[in-house]
C-alpha cells in the first residue's frame, strides 16, 4: 500500500504527519470516503465537490483545485492497483502549534489512502442487523452543521460504543429535539405504506452521496420519497428500515431498540433498492 501525503507516496509503515498537525491535535479538517468498483471510482465528482464545500464552510483552503484533486485520487488508485476498495481523502488544517488558532497553520495537509473496508459481515446483507438508539445526542446543527464532513467524530464514536455495549453493530443518533438524525456512520431510511422516508439534513443528517443515490433509485422504481422529520415512533412502526453509506452501501435493519421491523427480515423494497445499487456499482465497474 502506498499512501499519498502532500505530493509524495509513502509505504504504509513510513507514512507520517507531524504531531503538531491540527488534524491530530484538534480534529481540524475534513474528509471523504469513496468506493472503488472494478477499478473505477464511484461518484468521484460528487465526493470531491462535497469535500471542497466542507472545507469552504470551515475556512480551510485546499491547496489544489477540485479537478486536480480528482486527478490525484485517480492516480492514487492506479498507484495502488486497486480494483475494488475504499478511498479515504483527508485534508487537515496542517502543522501549527499547541494553540487552536488556524492562522498558525500555514499549509494544509492532504492525505489519500487507498485500502479495503468491511463495515459489516457479508451475511448481514441477507439477514439484516439490529440497531439501538444512543443516549448520546447528535451535535446541534447550530453548533456544527451536519453537512460538514469533518474530522470531529467523537460524537459518533461515543454512540458507536453504546451500540457495541448493547451487542449491536450500529446506533441511531437523535438530535437535541429528539428527532432521528442518522446513525454513527450511515444515513437511515424507513419505508411505511409504500413511501420511503429519510431525515432531512436540518435534523442533523449528513447529506450523504449514497443517500442521494438511493433517492434516485427509488424515483426510478416509482417509490414515493419524503425527506422529513422522523421520531423513534416512526422507526418502531416502519414496514422496512435500512442504512446507507459509502462504506456500508445499503444495509437492511430488522430491529430497532428490540422492536421487530416488519417480518424481522430484510423487506422486499429494501432488497429491490439493494439490488439496484449493486447493479449501479457493477455498471460503474463495467
Q: Which residues are catalytic?
A: 149
3 state DSSP class of 12: helix
Q: Which residues of 35-67 are buried (b: 16+ CB within 10 A; e: fewer)?
A: bbbeebbbbbeebbebbbebbeebebebeeeee
Alpha carbon distance 206, 200 (integer Å): 9
Query: Do β-strands 249-256 and 129-133 pair in parallel, antiparallel, or remain unpaired?
Result: parallel
R_g over Cα of the chain: 19
Provide DSSP, 265-279.
S--HHHHHHHHHHHH
59 is written with which cell numbers? 475556512
Q: Which residue has the cell 422492536?
A: 259
Amino acid at each position: 500500500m502506498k499512501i499519498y501525503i502532500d505530493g509524495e507516496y509513502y509505504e504504509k509503515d513510513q507514512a507520517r504527519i507531524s504531531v503538531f498537525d491540527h488534524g491530530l491535535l484538534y480534529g481540524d479538517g475534513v474528509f471523504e470516503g469513496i468506493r472503488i468498483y472494478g477499478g473505477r471510482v464511484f461518484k468521484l465528482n460528487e465526493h470531491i465537490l462535497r469535500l471542497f464545500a466542507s472545507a469552504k464552510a470551515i475556512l480551510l483552503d485546499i491547496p489544489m483545485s477540485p479537478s486536480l484533486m480528482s486527478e490525484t485520487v485517480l492516480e492514487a488508485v492506479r498507484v495502488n492497483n486497486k480494483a475494488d476498495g475504499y478511498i479515504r481523502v483527508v485534508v487537515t488544517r496542517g502543522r501549527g502549534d499547541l494553540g487552536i488558532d488556524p492562522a498558525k497553520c500555514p499549509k494544509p495537509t492532504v492525505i489519500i489512502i487507498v485500502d479495503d473496508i468491511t463495515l459489516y459481515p457479508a451475511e448481514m446483507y441477507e439477514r439484516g442487523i439490529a440497531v439501538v438508539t444512543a443516549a448520546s445526542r447528535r451535535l446541534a446543527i447550530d453548533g456544527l452543521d451536519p453537512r460538514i464532513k469533518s474530522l470531529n467524530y467523537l460524537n459518533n464514536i461515543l454512540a458507536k460504543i453504546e451500540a457495541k455495549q448493547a451487542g449491536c453493530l450500529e446506533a441511531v443518533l437523535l438530535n437535541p429535539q429528539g428527532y432521528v438524525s442518522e446513525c454513527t456512520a450511515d444515513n437511515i431510511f424507513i419505508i411505511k405504506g409504500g413511501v420511503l422516508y429519510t431525515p432531512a439534513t436540518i435534523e442533523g443528517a449528513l447529506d450523504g452521496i449514497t443517500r442521494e443515490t438511493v433517492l434516485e433509485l427509488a424515483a426510478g422504481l416509482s417509490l414515493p420519497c419524503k425527506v422529513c422529520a422522523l421520531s423513534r415512533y416512526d422507526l418502531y412502526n416502519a414496514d422496512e428500515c435500512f442504512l446507507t453509506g459509502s462504506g456500508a452501501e445499503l444495509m437492511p435493519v430488522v430491529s430497532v431498540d428490540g422492536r421487530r421491523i416488519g417480518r424481522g427480515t430484510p423487506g422486499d423494497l429494501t432488497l429491490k433498492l439493494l439490488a439496484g445499487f449493486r447493479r449501479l456499482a457493477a455498471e460503474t465497474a463495467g
